[in-house]
Amino acid sequence: MTANTLLRSANAAMVIFLALFLIVAYMAWGMEAQFPLMLIAVLHFLQIFLAGLFKVSYVVRLIAQNQLGQVLR
């Protein structure tokens, strides 16, 4: 996999995981009265899991930028 492809994939993954996190957070905190307790627990777990995947995507993005010789931000 080339560094450009890796960078595009990491950027796309960051956007997807952020969007999923926001949806799950809204469901867990904004609609909690409409769901059973077990589902709320799963949604809270998914928040932690999606945040971790977002962070892994960011690290992959940094690796791709380093391979391309770009400034790491």
* Long-range contacts of residues 52-55, Cβ cutoff 8 Å, at least 24 apart: 53/13, 53/17, 54/14, 54/17, 54/18, 54/21
pTM: 0.90
Share of the chain above pLDDT 70, in %: 100
Residue 1 pLDDT > 90: no
Rounded Cα gap, residues 60 and 41, in angstroms? 29
Q: How confident is the model at residue 3 (pLDDT cuts 50, 70, 90)?
A: very high
